[in-house]
Chain A
């Protein structure tokens, strides 16, 4: 059992969860994830690790309430427990001194990209963070990201804060304006990471995207999370979760993510939310 230290709603549908996992915390690197199972009948779901405190043994997760399991997770309170918390899984992000780096985060990815921003800054990169949301009420952590970024650019779909538009639009504007960017990292929904990859491709700026296919074990055993990268089948759980966005077969990823939509609906309707 892994005890929940705090659980709160950051913005509508996005939650921050701090969980006691003293053994897991020791080796976490930016870009890694954990597999979580809530109760004895629960499924195993992957969640990106957004922060950690090695001294206190606490791991921070930011997640979007999107289906039955994350709905149940969102109902838990401080003092409750989840039955399994496995990690740190996946390969760490490739963090080097690249020069000028853009980190794009949307949705839960605003939180999930923090470890990379911090590590990139520590390596001496110039870090420009771009965050996106539909409306300003869905933005969070600007200050935290700002601590490790040279610049934080805010975009909202409705223009209620910062630039009107989305993170890929800003990225595109920068590149078209002649700004030299050496590397891009993107965390968030598949559509957003795909668009980031699309806008950087003509400029040849390598763009690392954190993919989120469905997983079962998360340790390379089942092959559920297979993705096609550069024409080769890879397992996101052990070969990723970060891949070169210019090489990813996005249609395949989206199709496989939708494989259980009917079942997801059935589960959600049982929980009536």
Chain B
């Protein structure tokens, strides 16, 4: 009789910087597993036949397989399995909301803590970065990009990818040759754009990414702070995408420097639009344009992209002051509040109109924020800002809310409580209410149907738009969402673009 292995229902905790220390620096909060911790956590996986985790993953990573490879101490194999489906594992391992995806559908979650899939994914990605020459010919070893020598592992990776596209490309073996002279333009180098570009490059297409900003990475660079997603990790993943032969052109604001139609006239056979949902939303309350009231986009861009926390060594300044109020309850609100703290604010408030339960931020992030000393003012809504004689914000008037019946989002609707107005003195306000689509591409592209929210009408399964040869994905198609859902959209669009270009040849 075989002895039944007892399953450990507790996950291996991940080491973190202590709250009182980390609130004073921009270094990464979670430090990642050491090898023995990763192996121990991996050994908890029961290798289900019907792997719920895989179904919970928007890009269908072979999760039990890569976890098994970790347990077998075969890290190169774990890297190979992971990267065959996910070109950006170091990013996903850090910022995916695993608790509502793969980890939620983990069978262990029914009895205890699910496998820490995100932490293991991160471990594998970080292992690869530390051991560049032991696995794939990735960035740190071969930063020359396309010049890298071909090797077996790389070919295997391509084959894997082909197999994944198999159902769309039945007769396909000669396909690579056909692909080689086809050009695809990808607009935007955030998670959707990078994923789509990587998949198409693996299939042999000539891919050019057109990025509006002066660095590639989109929200991964300007939005998510260093302490949650170190920029060298993002840079490493971008270098990997470049190593697949993808060209990235910076400073290209599509719709301005060239229209989508001009890109197509320029010889590109398909265009994937992934510009993100660029335009910030505001509260629409009186005096919101006072100085020192930022959109989260601006606050985070100044901090992360322009490195305002290093002013005056870097030229871009930022105003923080002593007391900061952040409006909103999502991850971006958490990021903004924690940046403000690290920039020297003494008191930072999160002002959110519903209760903790309805807060859209990942629990881990709101807990991290609270540990660091962010003050949560829940069931609170701003009524108006109050300025000083120089037009700078000095206070915000708020009122209390209570929760009523559920609204169309399924969350209980917040209702103002009359007569509860009160004033909070602040030096800086940050509005983190989400974004709406940037108008530049929709307003300059003929034949692109829009939804009533101004996003580009897109078929979810394929990424197709109403315009021939044009696909779309990420926040521009769905409104503000997550990194991984944008990556999923990039993947599906790549598969459909490939199928389309195969048919056309």
Contacts and interface: CB of A to CB of B under 8 A. Distances in A.
A18 interface: no
Interface string A16-49: 0000000110110000000001000111100000
B386 to A, nearest CB: 14
Interface in A51-88: 68-69, 83-88
B345 interface: no
A87 B306 CA distance: 19
A115 B287 CA distance: 36
A41 B391 CA distance: 29
Interface stretch (A177-185, A190-198, A215-223): A215-223
B313 interface: yes
Given A84-B251, A223-B280, A266 B390 contact: no
Contact of B439 (A23, A26, A89, A220): A220
Contacts of B253: 86-87, 89, 219
Interface stretch (A147-155, A159-167, A248-256): A248-256
Contact of A219 (B282, B390, B438): B438
A137 interface: no
Nearest to A269: B312
Given A23-B257, A27-B258, A89-B253, A267 B315 contact: yes
A220 B244 CA distance: 31
B256 interface: yes
A260 B294 CA distance: 13
A243 B297 CA distance: 24
Contacts of B282: 223, 233
B301 A222 contact: yes
Interface centre among B214, B276, B279, B301 (most CB of A within 10 A): B214
Contacts of A238: 279, 438-440
A266 B312 contact: yes
Nearest to B280: A223
A226 B251 contact: no
A176 B257 CA distance: 43
B307 A252 contact: no
Contacts of B294: 223-224
B143 interface: no
Contacts of A26: 257-258
Interface residues of A, number: 44
Contact of A220 (B213, B222, B292, B440): B440
Q: How large is the interface on B (under 10, 10 to 19, 20 to 34, 35 or more residues)?
A: 35 or more
Contact of A83 (B214, B292, B306, B316): B214
B438 A221 contact: yes
Given A44-B306, A221-B278, A267-B315, A258 B256 contact: no
B314 A41 contact: yes
Contact of B312 (A84, A86, A224, A263): A263
Interface centre among A86, A264, A270 (most CB of B within 10 A): A86
B355 interface: no
A259 B214 contact: no
B75 to A, nearest CB: 34
A77 to B, nearest CB: 20
Given A27-B258, A44-B306, A83-B214, A222 B289 contact: no
A270 B319 CA distance: 19
The 9 closest A-B pairs by CB, nearest first: A255-B391, A263-B317, A222-B298, A43-B315, A259-B291, A223-B295, A43-B316, A221-B278, A84-B214
Interface of B: 212-214, 222, 250-253, 256-258, 276, 278-280, 282, 288-292, 294-295, 297-298, 301-302, 306-307, 311-317, 319, 390-392, 438-440
13 contacts: A24-B257, A88-B256, A88-B257, A219-B212, A220-B278, A222-B295, A223-B280, A223-B282, A223-B294, A228-B289, A238-B439, A259-B319, A264-B317
Given A222-B295, A259-B291, A264-B317, 16 more contacts: A27-B256, A43-B314, A43-B315, A217-B212, A219-B440, A221-B280, A221-B438, A222-B280, A223-B295, A223-B297, A238-B438, A252-B391, A255-B291, A255-B392, A259-B292, A259-B319
Interface of A: 23-24, 26-27, 37, 41-44, 68-69, 83-89, 216-217, 219-224, 226-228, 233, 235, 238, 251-252, 255-256, 258-260, 263-264, 266-267, 270
